[in-house]
């Protein structure tokens, strides 16, 4: 399990953050000057150079969002202009993309960050530019919410006389992905902006309701609580995919696309949940009780979100090596060959199973946000545990061998894994496993976590996705 450093303070990472942003800027410029845009969005690196992989266009927002975060952290205007112009020129198709569950990734990372910077006064106010960002975010949330599957009641936040549902993945209407909790941000922002989402006969669909239903379905079916659901039900374990019968709305089974099995825990999926639940808890705190009353009330909603947040973060702490970097799946078939791997630092160069640095970057942010949330609610002991665990993870990944210092390597965060079952990750000659490569989501979320921590250190405005609409 993670050996939490309780003495570590945010300011202790100041020098690492300075170095991180220097390297980050170099990597962004390297991609800008070298990447062939005709190939599509950059997804992951092969021998240090970004390449693509046709599946869905889910990483472009991370590319341009990274430049926006770089400006936020360093105030270097060139990165702002690059991120702003590329958002204008390239991101429009992502707003209306009806075929993916990734609107939170693409559009909140670009339009959302730009609107947030304007709201915070970090870029100049322009009424028409603000309207442009707001319109993009309104439509993005509605388009994402339209990708809807109805399921049996008891899984959603809907009243007892109505069915519940979830935003289905690109696999189809039967498929709930744990990742999609981070796309609930798109619905929340659209709701906060006052968007009216309408269907046939001008029926108005409440975007807050749909977001809460999806979050509840994720908490009920993607997260396990040691309550006997199946033989592998452990507190905090997650399933990448939950499969439903779309004819009658019944849950059928856990599954995994990018993990080892539906009965083991793919650690990047775990990390999405760790990050998603705490940030949505932060958002709930900005809503009046009257807004939540029709959907079960604040107490009930916060209870299931907090239970899922704590469970997933506990599982991560318990099933990750001492330095805070997990292997790609806790049930990976060759982990046993590593011996007592949880009692020593992760080894990205071992001969049996790869680690996933991107899961560490995503999960660390979740640990920090949950820690701060619990502390604000008066649970200082638990809050400190999660907060210090998050700092421990960042202290590891903001240094070698996870921080990419090679000036010719386009990636920032090393040892990221994309799709181990499909064999998409580059395996160096002479190795049995992939290592040494980066991903666009790993690099972006490392930057997001770095910005979060830097703002805490500098006592700046607390970084949230809904800073765009406060």
Q: How far apart are CA 135 and CA 121, in angstroms?
A: 20
Quick one: angle between helices 60-74 and 440-457, nearest 10? 20
Check residue 113 and give its pLDDT: 98
Report whether 267 contacts 329 (CB < 8 A): yes
What angle is formed at CA 360 by the lines to CA 354 and CA 361, rounded to 5 degrees? 130
Query: Per-residue pLDDT tens for 260-285?
Result: 999 999 999 999 999 999 999 999 99
Q: How far apart are CA 455 and CA 74, in angstroms?
A: 12
| Buried residues in 22-52 as b, exposed as e (16+ CB within 10 A) | ebbbbbbbbbbeebeeeeebbbbbeebbbbb
Query: Per-residue pLDDT tens for 28-59?
Result: 999 999 999 988 899 999 999 999 987 778 99
Scanning 9-119, the segments in alpha helix (DSSP H) are 14-34, 60-74, 77-90, 92-95, 103-106, 113-119
Q: How far apart are CA 367 and CA 387, in angstroms?
A: 6
Check residue 399 and give its pLDDT: 98
**Two structure tokens written together for 431:** 């190795």
The closest of 5, 7, 10, 19 to 399, measured between CA atoms, is: 19
pLDDT-based confidence at residue 163 (cuts at 50, 70, 90): low
**Two structure tokens written together for 202:** 């001008």
Query: Per-residue pLDDT tens for 379-421?
Result: 999 999 999 999 999 999 999 999 999 999 999 999 999 999 9
Strands (E), 231-343: 241-244, 251-255
Contacts of 355 by beta carbon, 8 Å cutoff, 6+ apart: 325, 326, 327, 328, 346, 347, 348, 415, 417, 435
What angle is formed at CA 389 by the lines to CA 385 and CA 390, rounded to 5 degrees? 120
Mean pLDDT of 429-445: 98
The DSSP line for 203-237 is -EE-HHHHHHHHHHHIIIIIB--SSSSSTT--TT-
For the chain, the structural domain boundaries read: 10-469
Q: Determine the 3-state secondary structure of 460 from DSSP.
A: coil
Residue 164: in which H helix or E strand, if any?
Answer: strand 164-167
Question: 10-469 adopts what CATH topology?
Answer: Glycosyltransferase (1.50.10)
Q: How far apart are CA 313 and CA 274, in angstroms?
A: 6
Check residue 155 and give its pLDDT: 46
Query: Per-residue pLDDT tens for 309-320?
Result: 999 999 999 999
Phi, psi (rounded to 5 degrees) for 311:
-60, -50
The percentage of the chain sitting over the pLDDT mark of 90, rounded to a whole number, equals 95
- Measured from the Cβ of residue 452, the count of other Cβ atoms closer than 10 Å reads 19
With a cut of 70, say whether residue 162 has pLDDT above it. Answer: no
Report how far apart, in Å, the C-alpha atoms of 54 and of each of 44, 92, 259, 395, 426 are: 12, 19, 19, 34, 16
With a cut of 70, say whether residue 154 has pLDDT above it. Answer: no
pTM over 0.85: yes
The percentage of the chain sitting over the pLDDT mark of 70, rounded to a whole number, equals 98
Report whether 176 contacts 244 (CB < 8 A): yes
Q: How far apart are CA 380 and CA 34, in angstroms?
A: 48
- Measured from the Cβ of residue 375, the count of other Cβ atoms closer than 10 Å reads 16
Question: In residues, how long is the chain?
Answer: 470
Count of alpha carbons within 13 angstroms of residue 188, beta-carbon side: 31
Query: Per-residue pLDDT tens for 216-261?
Result: 999 999 999 999 999 999 999 999 999 999 999 999 999 999 999 9
With a cut of 50, say whether residue 156 has pLDDT above it. Answer: no
Count of alpha carbons within 13 angstroms of residue 252, beta-carbon side: 12
Region of poorest pLDDT, from 90-94, 159-163, 324-328: 159-163
Report whether 20 contacts 14 (CB < 8 A): no
With a cut of 70, say whether residue 160 has pLDDT above it. Answer: no
The DSSP line for 385-450 is HHHHHHHHHHHHHTSTTTB---TT---SB-S--S-TTTT-S---TT-SS--S--BHHHHHHHHHHH
Report whether 159 contacts 146 (CB < 8 A): no
Mean pLDDT of 428-448: 98
pLDDT-based confidence at residue 157 (cuts at 50, 70, 90): very low
Check residue 389 and give its pLDDT: 98
């Amino acid at each position: 399990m993670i050996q939490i450093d309780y003495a570590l303070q945010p300011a202790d990472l100041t020098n690492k953050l300075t170095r991180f942003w220097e390297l980050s800027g170099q990597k962004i410029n390297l991609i800008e000057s070298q990447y062939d845009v005709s190939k599509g969005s950059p997804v992951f690196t092969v021998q240090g150079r970004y390449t693509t992989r046709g599946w869905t266009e889910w990483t472009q927002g991370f590319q341009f969002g990274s430049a926006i975060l770089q400006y936020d952290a360093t105030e270097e205007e060139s990165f702002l202009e690059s991120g702003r112009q590329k958002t204008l020129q390239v991101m429009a198709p992502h707003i209306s993309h009806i075929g993916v569950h990734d609107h939170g990734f693409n559009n909140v990372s670009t339009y959302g960050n730009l609107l947030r910077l304007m709201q915070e006064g970090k870029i100049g106010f322009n009424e028409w530019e603000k309207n442009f960002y707001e319109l993009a975010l309104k439509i993005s949330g509605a388009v994402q919410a339209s990708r809807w599957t109805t399921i049996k009641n008891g899984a959603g936040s809907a009243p007892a006389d109505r069915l519940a549902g979830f935003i289905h993945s690109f696999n189809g209407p039967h498929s709930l992905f744990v990742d999609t909790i981070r796309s609930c941000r798109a619905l929340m922002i659209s709701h906060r902006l006052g968007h009216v989402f309408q269907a046939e006969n001008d029926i108005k669909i409440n975007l807050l309701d749909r977001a809460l239903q999806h979050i509840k379905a994720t908490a009920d079916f993607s997260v396990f609580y040691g309550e006997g659901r199946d033989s592998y039900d452990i507190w905090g374990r997650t399933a990448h995919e939950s499969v439903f019968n779309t004819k009658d709305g019944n849950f059928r089974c856990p599954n995994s696309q990018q993990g080892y099995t539906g009965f083991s825990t793919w650690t990047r999926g775990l990390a999405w949940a760790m990050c998603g639940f705490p940030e949505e808890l932060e958002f709930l705190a900005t809503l009046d009780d009257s807004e939540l009353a029709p959907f079960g009330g604040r107490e009930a909603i916060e209870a299931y979100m907090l239970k899922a947040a704590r469970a997933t973060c506990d599982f991560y702490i318990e099933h990750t090596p001492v330095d805070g970097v997990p292997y790609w799946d806790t049930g990976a078939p060759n982990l046993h060959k590593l011996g007592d791997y949880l009692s020593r630092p992760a080894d990205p160069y071992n001969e049996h199973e790869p680690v996933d640095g991107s899961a560490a970057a995503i999960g660390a942010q979740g640990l920090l946000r949950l820690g701060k949330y619990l502390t604000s609610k008066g649970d200082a002991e638990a809050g400190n545990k999660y907060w210090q665990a998050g700092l421990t993870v960042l202290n590891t990944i903001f240094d070698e061998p996870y921080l990419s210092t090679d000036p010719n390597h386009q990636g920032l965060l090393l040892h990221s894994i994309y799709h181990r079952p499909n064999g998409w990750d580059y395996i160096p000659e002479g190795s049995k496993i992939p290592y040494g490569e980066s991903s666009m989501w790993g690099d972006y979320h490392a930057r997001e976590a770095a910005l979060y921590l830097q703002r805490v250190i500098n006592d700046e405005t607390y970084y949230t996705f809904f800073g765009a609409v406060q």
